[in-house]
Chain A
Amino acid sequence: MTDVIGSVEPLSPWAAIAQSRRSDLRELVESSIAPLVEAAEATQVFPVEVYRLLGEAGFLAIGAPASEGGEGGGRTSEVMVVQELARAGAGITMSVVPFFIVRIAVFEFGSPEAIEEVGKPMMRGERIVGICMSEPDAGSDVASIRTRAVPDGDGWRISGSKMFITNGTIATDLLVVAKTSDGIGLFLLDTNQPGYTARKLDKESARASDTTEIEFDEVYVPAHRVVGDPHDGFRKAMRVLNGERILSCARAIQLARDSWDDAVAWASQSTISGEPALATQGFQGPLAAALGDLWLLDLGLEKACLLWDRGDAAVSEISMLKTLSTKKSVEITRLAQTLTGVDGVRAGTRLARNARDTRLGTVTAGSEQIMHRILARQSGWPKAKW
Chain B
Amino acid sequence: MDDDIIESLIAAVGEVLDTELAGLASDRAARNRTTLNRVLTSLGELGYLTAGSEDGSGLGLYADARLAATLAESWGSLAWAALPTLLGNRLGEAEGYAPTALAFPEPNTWSQAQLEGGTVTGELRFVLNADSATRVLAVSPSGAAVMASIAKRRESGDSVEGFSETIHDSVFLAPDGAAVTGELVSAVRILRASIACGLAAGAISLGVRYAQERVQFGHPIGVYGEIRSIVARAAGLHRSAQALVDQVARAWDAGSRSDADAAQALLVAVENSTIAIERMQHVHGGYGQMAEFEIGRYMRDVRIVGAFDASLPSLEDIVADDFGLPRFSS
Residues of A within 8 A of B (CB): 134, 137-141, 144, 163-164, 201-206, 270, 272, 277, 280, 282-283, 330, 334, 337-348, 352, 355-356, 359-360, 362-364, 367-369, 372, 384, 386
Contacts and interface: CB of A to CB of B under 8 A. Distances in A.
B37 to A, nearest CB: 22
* Interface SS of chain B: helix
Nearest to B303: A345
Contacts of B289: 203-206, 359-360, 363
Interface of B: 104, 106-109, 126, 158-162, 215-219, 223-227, 270-271, 274, 278, 281-282, 285-286, 288-292, 296, 299-300, 303-304, 306-314, 316-317
A368 B279 CA distance: 11
A204 B286 contact: no
A277 B106 CA distance: 15
B313 A280 contact: yes
A386 B216 CA distance: 12
Contact of A345 (B226, B285, B307): B307
A283 B108 contact: no
Contact of A386 (B126, B224, B282): B224
Contacts of B288: 204, 359, 363
Contacts of B292: 202
Contacts of A343: 108
A203 B290 contact: yes
Nearest to B226: A369
Q: What is the interface of chain A mostly: helix, strand, loop, or mixed?
A: mixed
Given A339-B312, A343-B108, A141 B291 contact: no
A163 B286 contact: yes
A173 to B, nearest CB: 23
Given A356-B299, A386-B225, 18 more contacts: A138-B216, A139-B216, A139-B285, A140-B216, A202-B291, A203-B291, A204-B291, A270-B107, A339-B312, A340-B311, A341-B108, A341-B307, A342-B160, A347-B159, A363-B286, A369-B226, A372-B226, A384-B225
B43 to A, nearest CB: 27
A272 B290 contact: no
A372 B288 CA distance: 20
A301 to B, nearest CB: 22
Nearest to B160: A345
Nearest to B291: A202
A359 B161 contact: no
A197 B77 CA distance: 37
A342 B278 contact: no
15 contacts: A141-B216, A202-B291, A204-B288, A204-B290, A205-B296, A282-B311, A339-B313, A341-B108, A341-B307, A341-B311, A348-B159, A359-B281, A363-B282, A369-B224, A386-B224
A337 B227 CA distance: 27
A346 B126 CA distance: 10
Nearest to B28: A202
- Counting chain B CB atoms within 10 Å of each CB, the highest count among A282, A340, A342, A369 belongs to A342
A200 to B, nearest CB: 11
B285 A282 contact: no
Nearest to A386: B223
B316 A364 contact: no
Given A140-B285, A141-B217, A272-B313, A342 B227 contact: no
A369 B227 CA distance: 8
Nearest to A335: B312
A344 B304 CA distance: 9
A68 to B, nearest CB: 32
Contacts of A372: 226
A163 B285 CA distance: 12
A363 to B, nearest CB: 5
Q: List the 7 closest A-B pairs by CB distance, nearest first.
A: A282-B313, A204-B296, A202-B291, A347-B159, A141-B216, A352-B161, A345-B307
B123 to A, nearest CB: 15
Contact of A272 (B109, B282, B296, B311): B311
A359 B311 contact: no
